[in-house]
């Protein structure tokens, strides 16, 4: 058998069965080819049935970041329910000779029957935090690597950035509007992750439909330009959407725009939106203009390429809410989390679970199953991320005897059964609550935007007395 | 009617019909809410039926980049075919009162019946290049804004980065392996975009299935760690995948790993993969070790956090192919393109198409329909990006009388009918060829990696004699 990795460069000339769009709702091919080739070899030699523990963690936070936010857990569990190999997938794998018949037979019957536990979605994390732990046979657990990482790396990157924005905005709502700057399905996940991290609403309709999120939006510059003049555009919008609508006032001249907005909607105008220019100065001027006209309840929304720093810089400006686009959906400079899915323990020849770890340069990690807890100080604020390691049975059954330690792992999948409480709109609401509580527990200073180390150190507590 | 933008912060407590996964294959809700509210107002005042020209372009390239690569055009056309409002979407829009009944009626019958033209997928672009032009009534064209931008901004960002990598790699194949660092569906699109820009293959199975791409991959460190020792792991892999496979040799000690790899597969071993350490030095050592053992045909694949600079730095190292992950799927520092979808002309009260443009600060753009061409010098290399503007009828029918000008727009959708040649696996192959030819036409020096201005200036040719 020729290994295509050794001789790449060929583009198959025959067309596959499909031409562009998914024909199956299965998520099983959202997977790297090597998961399946490893499975084939392990099925043949018998190691596929060894019990394994895989751990998801990141070695470091993006430069300068003080904490990360776990997001995507609910989406991973939703995708897990669809992780099966239907005829569509099996036929393609057979046609392409990705794996042999014995492996295809195994895949045809595949359902994950193991356990998954992890940090509750919305929880903050630090370097080496074991945010997800997957336990099962090698065969069933290895197949989930790519999907788990895709979901968690993307969603956590967005939530980690979004949390800095909602933190900088303090009590002013942040609104997610970045769909156009992200892959169309990533945009749906990004809206969800932003809401987990405290965003109030999204412009994305599918995110609203799929996850029960509030959606927002009224009009773009194109609407004003479509009309013969700004007066006609504003009159039309108020007629259709009511005076409580938000009018975009910067297509031509902002001062004239505000005058026309008030002429169209009166002092009951819901809001004006500013999408360009020096937002701090403009917001001051517009606020004064609105107040002078008696429109004291009319709000000011700003939306031009904002990030956490721009939001913080507008803290003293009379702004009522922030619309954030590019920056939140691209993780504000850190579009992925660098999480890895590592085998940390596996059953050996003797049937006992043994810790394993890669030993070569640079990428070392600690083997063995781990529990995790956050140690709080007397003021209730986090002081340490505690990884509990050592004897496997002791770690598996560990319960802290110290009330300063809050355990971080919750069961997500038990014997293949997904806990639905973490999925769907309910899961998003729960994650949002968890994030708020978890962020409130961070030490003072942990939420400043300037570059610094992780807000708390990650330490290891060994249950077997070794260092 | 209350505008939610003016009073955000509420999370609806009722659950929607769905709990997490899509229940419809329609792409119509991958859309910002304001597209629909604008539609409602425009339907009510009659302007919805005005003929409009929307243009997609970017104001600038990412800092230091010399050209961009159009990608995603085929995916946009595929998604356009599914851009319809079924009961699933209409019911949700009605339940949420996003728009009124008249608008729902319009949406129920919606099919895009206009025209789309644009740069062929794979073509390089520069600031202001009109890479996509959508023409139809306001109602039908405005709805496509978010989807068109999501697809083009993401896919072009990946292809633009990927093109720098394949350029730096010269004749050595680049292999896309970044699925785990991107949203799971974005990963499929990223694999496709990377291949458009010259990548030879992808690890992503779904991308392989959907677009007919070659897939690659054999084993991860987990496979070695699963086994009792490296010898057992290599023996198993060779037994299952043949001696032509690629063995990952850096789990423990690279020199020992190569020895064991040769012991397992003999000198017919397909390749060894290095995934950590100082790749340039290691590649030299491993190549010497392989050659000394007589495995002169065994290739060396490197895969550790590579980007275009790391690839260039390995040019003199005995490396046979580059596996690229994070960097390509996140656009190597520029994860989105900043493309916008702007109304540039619309029918006025008199029935004539008139240019329009936003007039306020900073974000100015030129109104009016544009054609585009690339001017080549005597050596056949590009010297200018030429935007053709002016009288609408003259622009619409413009054909260059100068053979130095290569026109850039091709018809993609005519009277609502998608040209299928741009979609599916055939579209990818065509885009890859276009990219190769287009990049070869760039001026000498345009492909260097160091930061610089756009490789050619963008100039405007006015057909009405004005500047």
Q: Is B417 within the bounds of a domain?
A: yes
Instruction: Sort out which chain A residues have CB atoms less than 8 A from B357's CB and list them.
Output: 225
Inter-chain CB proximity A38 and B223 less than 8 Å: yes
CA angle, residues A242, A248, A251, in degrees to nearest 5: 140
User: Does residue B78 share a domain with residue B113?
Assistant: yes
Within-domain flag for B21? no
Å from A256 to nearest chain B CA? Answer: 11
> Sign (positive/negative) of CA torsion A344, A347, A353, A358?
negative
Structure confidence at residue B23 (pLDDT): 60
Any A CB within 8 A of B355 CB = no
- End position of a domain, from candidates A319, A353, A388: A319
Both A350 and A274 in one domain: the answer is no
Give the CATH number, domain containing residue B44.
Answer: 3.20.140.10
Residue at A303 is within a domain = yes
Look at residue B19 in the predicted model and tell me its pLDDT: 40
HEC secondary structure over B262-302: HHHHHHHCCEEEECCCCHHHHHHHHHHHHHHCCCCCCEEEE
Q: Check if A280 contacts B (Cβ < 8 Å).
A: no
pLDDT at B115: 98
- What is the reported pLDDT for B360? 58
Q: Distance, in angstroms, between A211 CA and closest chain B CA?
A: 6
Task: With CB atoms and an 8 Å threshold, state whether A424 touches B348.
Answer: no
- Residues spanned by the domain of A54: 22-159+336-362+408-452
In sign, the C-alpha dihedral spanning B115, B50, B85, B72 is: positive
d(CA A386, CA A406): 10
CA distance B276 to chain A (A): 7
Name B108's Cβ contacts closer than 8 Å, sequence gap at least 6. B85, B90
Residue A8 lies in a domain: no
Contact yes or no for A214 and B4 at CB 8 A: yes
B38 touches chain A (CB under 8 A): yes
For the segment B83-127, what is each residue's pLDDT rounded down to a tens digit?
999 999 999 999 999 999 999 999 999 999 999 999 999 999 999
Does A73 lie at the interface with B, CB-CB under 8 angstroms? no
Is B192 in CB contact (< 8 Å) with chain A? no
State the CB neighbour count (10 A cutoff) for residue A352.
11
Instruction: Give contacts of B301 with chain A, Cβ < 8 Å.
Output: 5-6
**Smallest CA–CA separation between B223 and chain A, in Å?**
6
Is B347 in the same domain as B291?
A: no
Whether B33 sits inside 8 A of A177 (CB atoms) is no
* CA–CA distance, B448 with B168 (Å, rounded to integer): 8
Picking from B14, B184, B228, the nearest residue to A349 by CB comes out as B228
Q: How many Cβ pairs within 8 Å bridge chains A and B? A: 521
CB-nearest partner of B361 from A19, A208, A277: A277
Which residue among B82, B92, B212 sits closest to A209, beta carbon to beta carbon?
B92
Q: Does A360 touch chain B (CB under 8 A)?
A: yes
Tell me which chain A residues have a C-beta less than 8 angstroms from the C-beta of B433: none
Contact A459, A149 (CB under 8 A): no
Longest CA–CA span in chain A (Å) reads 82
Distance of CA A271 to the CA centre of its chain: 30
> Using CB atoms, which residue from A75, A225, A342 is nearest to B356?
A225
CATH of the domain at B283: 3.20.20.70
Query: Same structural domain for residues A39 and A151?
Result: yes
- Probe site for chain A from B180, B219, B242, B244 (most A CB atoms < 10 A): B180
Q: Are residues B341 and B311 in the same domain?
A: no
**Of B248, B217, B224, the residue nearest A346 (C-alpha):** B224
Structural domain ending residue among the three candidates B268, B286, B319 = B319
Residues B37 and B154 placed together within one structural domain of the fold: yes
ipTM confidence score: 0.95
| pLDDT tens per residue across all 467 residues of chain A | 344 444 433 333 333 333 444 467 899 999 999 999 999 999 999 999 999 999 999 999 999 999 999 999 999 999 999 999 999 999 999 999 999 999 999 999 999 999 999 999 999 999 999 999 999 999 999 999 999 999 999 999 999 999 999 999 999 999 999 999 999 999 999 999 999 999 999 999 999 999 999 999 999 999 999 999 999 999 999 999 999 999 999 999 999 999 999 999 999 999 999 999 999 999 999 999 999 999 999 999 999 899 999 999 999 999 999 999 999 999 999 999 999 999 999 999 999 999 998 875 444 567 899 999 999 999 999 999 999 999 999 999 999 999 999 999 999 999 999 999 999 999 999 999 999 999 999 999 899 999 999 999 999 999 986 65
Residues of chain A contacting residue B360, judged by C-beta atoms under 8 Å apart: 250-254, 276-277
Residues A344 and A294 in one domain: no
Instruction: Compute the nearest-CA separation of B342 from chain A (Å).
Output: 7
Which residues in chain A have their CB less than 8 angstroms from residue B6's CB? 244-246, 270-271, 299, 301
Residue B273's φ and ψ, nearest 5 degrees, are -120, 135
Cα–Cα separations (whole angstroms), residue B237 to A138, A356, B230: 15, 19, 11
The whole-angstrom distance between B245's CA and the closest CA on chain A is 5
Residues A353 and A302 in one domain: no
**A61 interface with B at CB cutoff 8 Å:** no
Q: B69 Cβ partners below 8 Å, 6+ apart? A: B122, B123, B124, B125, B156, B159, B160, B162, B163, B196, B197, B435
Asked, for residue B121, whether it belongs to a domain, the answer is yes
Judge: A183–B245 Cβ closer than 8 Å, yes or no.
no
Residues B144 and B49 in one domain: yes
Question: Measured between CB atoms, does B456 come within 8 Å of chain A?
Answer: no
Chain A residues whose beta carbon lies within 8 Å of the beta carbon of residue B363: 276
**Which residues in chain A touch residue B99, judged by CB atoms under 8 angstroms apart?**
none
CA angle B429, B430, B432 (to 5 degrees): 65
CA A356 – CA A347 distance, rounded (Å): 10
Give yes or no: residues A300 and A340 share one domain: no
Q: Are residues A302 and A349 in the same domain?
A: no
Q: What is the pLDDT of residues B366-410, one digit of tens each?
A: 789 999 999 999 999 999 999 999 999 999 999 999 999 999 999
Q: Which of B225, B244, B252 to mutate to test the interface with A (most CBs of A within 10 A)?
A: B225
Per the domain annotation, does A51 fall within a domain?
yes
User: Inter-chain contact B221–A47, Cβ cutoff 8 Å?
Assistant: no
Interface of B with A in 370-409 (CB under 8 A): none
Q: Is residue A46 part of a domain?
A: yes
Give how many domains chain B has, as a whole number: 2
Are A343 and B54 a contacting pair at CB < 8 A? no
B281 in contact with chain A, both atoms CB, cutoff 8 A? no
A170, part of any domain: no
Are residues B274 and B304 located together in one domain of the fold? Answer: yes
Residues of chain B with pLDDT under 50: 1-22, 361-363
Q: How many other C-beta atoms are found inside a 10 Å radius of the C-beta of residue A25?
A: 13
Beta bridge partners of B215: B202
CB B67 within 8 A of CB A251: no
Nearest CA in chain B to A30: B206
Q: What are the counts of helices (DSSP H) followed by strands (DSSP E) for chain A?
A: 16, 19
CB of B214 less than 8 A from some CB of A: yes
Q: Do B42 and A226 touch (CB under 8 A)?
A: yes
Which residues in chain A have their CB less than 8 angstroms from residue B245's CB? Answer: 1, 3, 5-6
Chain A hits for B295, Cβ within 8 Å: none
CA distance B184 to chain A (A): 5
**Is B425–A15 a contact, with Cβ atoms under 8 angstroms apart?**
yes
Q: Give the rounded percent of residues in chain B with a pLDDT score beyond 70.
A: 93
Question: Whole-prediction pTM value?
Answer: 0.95
Distance from CA of B51 to the nearest CA of A (A): 10
Q: Which residue does chain B place closest to A145, by CA atoms?
A: B180
User: Which of A263, A287, A319 corresponds to the end of one domain?
Assistant: A319
């Amino acid at each position: 058998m020729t290994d295509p990795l050794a001789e790449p460069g060929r583009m198959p000339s025959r067309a596959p069965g499909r031409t562009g769009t998914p024909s199956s709702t299965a998520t099983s091919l959202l997977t790297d080819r090597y998961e399946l080739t490893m499975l084939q070899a392990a099925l043949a030699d018998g190691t596929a049935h060894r019990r394994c523990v895989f751990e998801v963690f990141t070695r470091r936070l993006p430069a300068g970041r003080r904490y990360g936010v776990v997001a995507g857990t609910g989406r991973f569990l939703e995708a897990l329910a669809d992780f099966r190999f239907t005829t569509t997938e099996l036929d393609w794998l057979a046609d392409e000779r990705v794996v042999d018949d014995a492996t295809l037979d195994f895949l045809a019957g595949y359902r994950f029957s193991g356990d998954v536990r992890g940090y509750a979605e919305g929880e903050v994390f630090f370097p080496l935090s074991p945010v997800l732990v997957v336990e099962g046979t090698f065969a069933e657990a290895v197949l989930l690597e790519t999907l788990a990482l895709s979901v968690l790396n993307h969603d956590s990157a967005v939530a980690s950035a979004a949390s800095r924005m909602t933190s900088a905005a303090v009590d002013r709502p942040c609104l997610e509007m970045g769909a156009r700057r992200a892959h169309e399905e990533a945009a749906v996940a990004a809206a969800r992750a932003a809401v987990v991290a405290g965003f109030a609403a999204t412009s994305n309709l599918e995110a609203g439909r799929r996850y029960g999120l509030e959606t927002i939006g009224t009009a773009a510059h194109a609407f004003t330009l479509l009309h013969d003049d700004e007066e006609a555009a504003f009159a039309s919008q108020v007629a259709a959407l009511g005076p409580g609508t938000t009018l975009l006032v910067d297509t031509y001249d902002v001062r004239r725009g505000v005058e026309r907005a008030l002429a169209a909607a009166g002092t009951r105008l819901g809001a004006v939106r500013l999408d360009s220019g020096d937002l701090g100065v403009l917001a001051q001027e517009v606020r004064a203009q609105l107040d002078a006209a008696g429109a004291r309840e009319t709000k000011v929304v700003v939306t031009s390429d904002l990030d956490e720093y721009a939001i913080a810089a507008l803290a003293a400006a009379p702004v009522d809410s922030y619309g954030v686009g590019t920056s939140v959906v691209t993780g504000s400079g850190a579009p992925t989390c660098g999480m890895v899915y590592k085998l940390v323990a596996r059953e050996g020849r003797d049937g006992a679970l043994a810790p394993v770890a890669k030993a070569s340069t640079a990428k070392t990690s600690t083997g063995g199953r781990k529990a995790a807890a956050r140690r709080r100080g007397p003021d209730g604020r986090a002081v340490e991320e505690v990884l509990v390691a050592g004897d496997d049975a002791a770690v598996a059954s560990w319960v802290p005897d110290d009330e300063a330690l809050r355990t971080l792992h919750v069961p997500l999948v038990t014997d293949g059964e997904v806990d639905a409480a973490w999925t769907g709109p309910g899961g998003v609401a729960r994650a949002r609550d968890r994030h708020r509580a978890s962020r409130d527990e961070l030490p003072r200073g942990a939420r400043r935007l300037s570059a610094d180390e992780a807000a708390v150190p990650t330490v290891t507590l060994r249950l077997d007395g070794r260092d």
